Chains A and B, each alone.
Chain A
């Protein structure tokens, strides 16, 4: 069992690990120097998803995800939708895995075969899943301190080279630019849909909404600061061309003559955060899969899943270019369908059911 505070920390890790690396360049392409506002727009998706999830979770007396779907949609449709979600979680896990491999190869191990890195990370996922969500939550609690440390180091490190002129004229692409810049990152904020499967592991759910909303606000705030640092240092044009802008900014960070070139150190916490993110997706995949097929010992499904994910991720994305193509073209539509559109439909269905039930209660 985990606490609400631990869940909110998992939320921070879930969103922050991806957005810190990818959001700046993707967002700045559309938003101009108003890009630092895009995270605040993207986070609205996360907030809507959280409000809907928690309302449904409480309304149906804290069921598992599968029970909730069966209650809402009926037995056959509930199971079909569960399969769709298994596919979504597995696919997102693969994408996170491949994304991590791409960055590790590009920055740390250019000559190491992909499969070697792939199996190492997958084995780490398996180890985390095997130890259970409680251990994952405790681990997150231990390393969550890295999140503000990264942001502080990044911001302080570039302070001397900061160009205020990069922000002038302010909002050069207008508010529509900010909104366009928020479209792809919204899908990362929407990944909080995963928490739905972790709700049954909560020790209690007091102040659940407050904690989760605060964690989303924290991520938006931290990413905005990073965006400000990136825009101020690299400028919009340069930053939008650089795929991993925040990593690039880390190259400029130096404290005195001694602490220089600390960009590789930035990858240490990032790898840990990314492993947690990936394993969370595979954890819920195993969990939902086990529930659908009524598998008593879910540990047996971990190893096949890990092998499958290693092989599939290698086969699905042949090179780093195909990842960035997937990220910009396929991913937002695909993700938002599962993260926002389907939950909205569930929620409407729930409201309709409730409105139908109330008059019948009154009439009886």
Chain B
């Protein structure tokens, strides 16, 4: 670490050497006190609020210190600069980091230290409605790209001294600020330690979004299933913290990360807790059914039509068999092609502007489906099966789980296509065995269900009344071990 010197010019030269060709860096020279002691303010014009700089630093310093004989950094810091957020720096690297983060640096001739003050003021998006995690009841706020705003949003939900906020930076190049938030009385200390370990050992160069931290955070876990949850809703993040999770917010990212994460939480939505529990329990159960359907329908269909006709009820068999006549492709290939086509439509719908995207999805599905049936390329039942699968998969609230389901569906389809019902059984074995072997920060991923935690079952497949805001699941808060 290079120390600052007492010479203002030398210090400026050192900074300029590092920030060569950075024309957005401004150097404002001025003098202070009776002896016209030289001082310099260094800042990045686009990152600061000029009014604040003029009022709290320049004007105050220049006017108030006019009668002083000798001025030093300590005196300015303690008596003349009214900024609440300022620190004294003595090393060049620290000054450069602060400068690039948007701070204003004040260096005084004859003093080997500098002041770093916050005067941030760039344009940013205000708090808006959540678009990807839509909820009918409850708060409608979503996180933004502004880290301070996001912390404030969470603080407004949990006004308790146990809510701790740790500030760090990550990324060799980007030096992105991020915060770790948790309720100290609920989390396990080992969990925090493990998170620090994973992030510190990650050696990431660039962190542009919270998504960049997911891979280091799920270190060593090879799985399509999400074991680090993401949310863009502060109310959901607060609820997760109240259940013993750690939340990570990253600057410039409107998505919070939460860990440890359980399988069951990907099928929960905020309004489960804000609405009548009879209705919400039923809807949650429906989501589980939809999840099973989204994974199994195409494979079961292939196994029934392609391998085990005897399982099809006799009243349905003639209709299905008559459709099969003249179809050139085997059922497996037929379903596979339709599934791939559906995925293409879904991806196209997502990437295009919203109004066009929706049109493409609907028109694509209707027109191509109908045309394929008319051209005797696929069975009408196959179109129904693929469409039902797609609709069922849309009911899964967590995008992470929904993506995993897409992969699993193809895996199961492939095994069933090869080995019929036997392939389906073995495929299910692989999926479930993998699921139960997963752990998120030492907590069984399928916690509450297997290993079964009777106390936590109250908020898994369905929600029981009266416990919604007070029950803290020990599956997550106590590391899955009985206290």
Contact = CB atoms under 8 A, between A and B. Distances in A.
A5 B395 CA distance: 34
B314 interface: yes
A138 B420 contact: no
B261 to A, nearest CB: 17
Q: Mostly helix, strand, loop or mixed at chain A's interface?
A: helix
B422 interface: yes
Interface in B437-483: 437, 444, 446, 449-452
A267 interface: yes
A257 B313 contact: yes
Give the bracket for the number of chain A residues in contact with chain B.
35 or more
B30 interface: no
A120 interface: yes
A121 interface: yes
Interface string A124-167: 10011001101110110111000000000000000000000000
A104 interface: yes
B274 interface: no
A142 B446 contact: yes
A261 B451 CA distance: 34
A259 interface: yes
A275 interface: yes
A258 B313 contact: yes
B313 A271 contact: no
Interface in A260-303: 260-262, 264-265, 267-268, 271-272, 275
Contact of B451 (A6, A108, A143, A271): A6
Contacts of B437: 131-132, 134-135, 138
A261 B420 CA distance: 17
Which of A127, A135, A268 has the most B CB atoms < 10 Å from its CB? A135
Given A6-B451, A142-B450, A264-B310, A131 B433 contact: yes
A13 B312 CA distance: 29
B420 A108 contact: yes
Contacts of B352: none
B311 A261 contact: yes
A108 B452 CA distance: 33
B315 interface: yes
A117 B422 CA distance: 9
Contacts of A127: 429-430, 433-434
Nearest to A134: B437
B425 interface: yes
B452 A141 contact: yes
Given A3-B451, A141-B452, A260-B314, A271 B432 contact: no
Interface string B362-387: 00000000000000000000000000
B308 A264 contact: yes
Contacts of B426: 120-121, 124, 271, 275
B420 A139 contact: no
B313 A260 contact: yes
A110 B125 CA distance: 64
Contacts of B428: 268, 272
A112 interface: yes
B333 interface: no
B421 A108 contact: yes
B433 A135 contact: yes
B436 interface: yes
B419 A120 contact: yes
B422 A139 contact: no
A108 B422 contact: yes
Contacts of A135: 433, 436-437
Contact of B444 (A116, A138, A265, A268): A138
Give the bracket for the number of chain B residues in contact with chain A.
20 to 34
Given A117-B422, A121-B426, A264 B311 contact: yes
B143 interface: no
Contacts of A117: 419, 422
B270 to A, nearest CB: 27
Given A131-B437, A138-B444, A141-B451, A258 B420 contact: no
A271 B424 CA distance: 10
A300 B233 CA distance: 46
A329 to B, nearest CB: 29
A351 interface: no
Contacts of B425: 267-268, 271-272
B446 A104 contact: no
A138 B446 contact: yes
A109 interface: yes
B449 A262 contact: no
Contacts of A275: 426, 429
Nearest to B313: A258
A272 B427 CA distance: 10
Nearest to B425: A271
Contacts of B449: 142
A275 B422 CA distance: 12
A121 B430 CA distance: 11
Contacts of B420: 108-109
A112 B284 CA distance: 41
A257 B315 contact: yes
Contacts of A128: 429, 433
A143 B430 CA distance: 13
Interface string A101-115: 000100011001000
A82 B436 CA distance: 31
Contacts of A272: 425, 428-429
Contacts of B315: 257-258
B429 A141 contact: no
B313 A142 contact: no
A62 to B, nearest CB: 20
Contact of A143 (B311, B432, B434): B432
A280 to B, nearest CB: 13
Interface of A: 3, 6, 104, 108-109, 112, 116-117, 120-121, 124, 127-128, 131-132, 134-136, 138-139, 141-143, 257-262, 264-265, 267-268, 271-272, 275
Interface of B: 307-308, 310-311, 313-315, 419-426, 428-430, 432-434, 436-437, 444, 446, 449-452
Given A131-B437, A138-B436, 18 more contacts: A104-B422, A108-B307, A108-B420, A108-B422, A116-B419, A120-B419, A128-B429, A131-B436, A138-B451, A139-B433, A141-B451, A262-B311, A264-B311, A265-B311, A268-B424, A271-B422, A272-B425, A275-B429
24 contacts: A6-B451, A108-B307, A109-B419, A120-B422, A124-B433, A127-B433, A128-B429, A128-B433, A131-B433, A131-B436, A131-B437, A132-B437, A135-B436, A138-B446, A139-B429, A141-B451, A257-B315, A259-B313, A264-B308, A268-B421, A268-B428, A271-B422, A271-B426, A275-B429
Q: Which 8 A-B pairs have the closest CB atoms?
A: A135-B437, A138-B436, A131-B437, A271-B425, A141-B450, A138-B450, A142-B450, A261-B310
